[in-house]
Structure 1
């Protein structure tokens, strides 16, 4: 028998559980200045919500079990890996300017609450009484199969790329060396791509009862509306905490410190930012296609003349000398348009 808790979509109860769960770990992290549980708290929160909503539903059909297990497996793997990594590194540099400031640190945890609750929505609503009251199609629809296949692809990409990069950095004495093997030969961020694929795969499975005409009315709309979960994750990784924090800032740091800049510039030019693609073809692709279809938007591109503090300093010195000459730095941008190169080079 299903449990009716606050509302029949389990939105309120999962939100309250998430707030309580995150505040519990926040209290530990802030009091002890302890970074090691932050990502663990995020990943395991998905597991908690999936278990509770599945248990509350009272209906354990194959689709609910598969979707719930998928998000639990993903959450456990992610939290386990991040916990292992932070135990090895000792601290999380993201919180250097936050861990001593209550509200700034709390702000991160509030955002994590919203992330967990929103991304969990497809499974939460699938397990809710307003959906399970309807007859359910047998597991194995085209969307179910596609979802399982996509989940497997995404999970393999995310898990293997995380492990590959960790091993690569652990074995290299030069921490600025470029990881361009395995999945990283086809995309600069295979873990992000895998994570996005995983969440859309889970959504495809969860929406099957509505897509196949079994669920009606508001429940039908609610299932489709849960696409906000995978879309929110995608926006987060592309424009908030993922690519924007790594692409241009990472290139700027390499350029200014001259950490394998020439090699990295070539890597940028031949490797897709997110969507896996053969590097031999990507390198020759017109820049307009890279900037549109392949999502390498201008906000990610590093231009030394515009974004480098080193370049600005050199320009100021040259103006002070009054010689009117522009010294040509041997380090160039990885963007063919910035370098004045033909896009097919």
Structure 2
């Protein structure tokens, strides 16, 4: 089957336009209905549609392309379905509390989501494009089963299982499916081995996809021209962008330090004196929330899964460098504490006014 050529030989323009159109429709629906339930599900649907669209347009259905398509569809259906279910059950998403009724803020979110889907989907788009996979356009195929294919599959499977387990375990924990006392810190399944397993899983998923697509550019003899080879290798921006996004922008920075701050305020904030001592839970024996979280932080890796019995003995310098538990993620009670307490007091005064 011959490929269908649309706008450019890498399917970048058509993919971007389709992604943008999807997000415009999603934005209009979310703002008109004032709902949070579609945001994450809509982005997952966009990932799935772009993978299927470029696969269909490309006209070549090599084993590598089929595996990548199946992996993206599985990831998108699992993530999108879970998020729609979770937000529907919880009645909303706190991330959108400050932007739900503000058209400019909400539009900015949907534009950012369009860019995220486009950049992360690059390996899939480019692999399926005529320039990479169509012999009549200077592309070609390398038989499936290279070392990079195998490593890519292994990383994707580990990442998919880790992210899925993390999401379901956290939801089960928060919704009361697992009985635990007030102040307990989740340490079920993969959460026992790192504090942000969902983010680690996401990083591994897209690193695995990248490794799966690049054999046509790296194996010898390569069937690709120099420019096509560079384009395929250049899709490394997908896993790099995922890593940067989760490490520096919307992932760990918005989750880790705020979580530690809440534990600190539970011990030292304006409402702390009203709380009763915490009850023991698994290895969590401390009765004070902040002391408990600090102990949990010192024995539990941030991102890379490591058994607590090993991690607690690793030198601090290694934890704060190689193991990524950088200072930007850590709440410093001496430096950050006074400001957090003052803000909490002001918030309480406004609430009681």
TM-aligned CA distance change 1:131 to 1:181, over 3 Å: same
1:217 Cα offset (Å):
1.3
1:268-320 Cα shifts (integer Å, max 9, x gaps): 0111100111211211111110111101111001111111247765xxxxxxx
Decide whether the 8 Å contact of 2:261 with 2:340 is kept in 1.
no
Query: Which residue number in structure 1 is paired with residue 280 of structure 2?
Result: none
Structure-1 separation of matches of 2:326 and 2:223: 40
Which among 209, 217, 222 is matched to residue 202 of structure 1? Answer: 209
Aligned partner of 1:184 in structure 2 is 191
Give the Cα–Cα distance (whole angstroms) in 2 for the partners of residues 310 and 62 of structure 1. Answer: 56
Is 1:240 the counterpart of 2:255 in the alignment? no
CA–CA distance in structure 2, aligned partners of residues 72 and 119 of structure 1: 14
Question: Any gaps of 5 or more consecutive residues in structure 1?
Answer: 314-345
Contact 1:37–1:83 at 8 Å: present in 2 too?
A: yes
Q: How does 1:220-259 map to 2 (within 5 A)?
A: 220-258=229-267
**Change in CA separation of 1:268 and 1:208 when aligned onto 2, cut-off 3 Å:** same
Equivalent position to 2:337, from 293, 308, 319: 308
* 1:141-152 map, 5 Å: 141-152=146-157
Q: CA deviation at 1:261?
A: 2.2
Equivalents in 2 of 1:177, 1:100: separation in Å? 34
3-state DSSP of counterpart to 1:284 = coil
Question: 1:56 corresponds to which residue?
Answer: 57
The normalised TM-score by structure 1 is: 0.88
Unaligned 5+ runs, structure 2: 268-287, 343-353
What's the counterpart of residue 224 of structure 2? 215
Residue from 284, 295, 304 that aligns with 2:313: 284
Q: Which aligned pairs between 1:58-73 and structure 2 lie closer than 5 A? A: 58-73=59-74
**Residue 136 (structure 1) aligns with:** 141
d(CA) in 1 for partners of 2:335, 2:167: 32
1:31 is displaced (CA, Å) by 1.2
- Which residue of 1 is the match for residue 25 of structure 2? 24
In 1, distance between residues paired with 2:94 and 2:334?
28
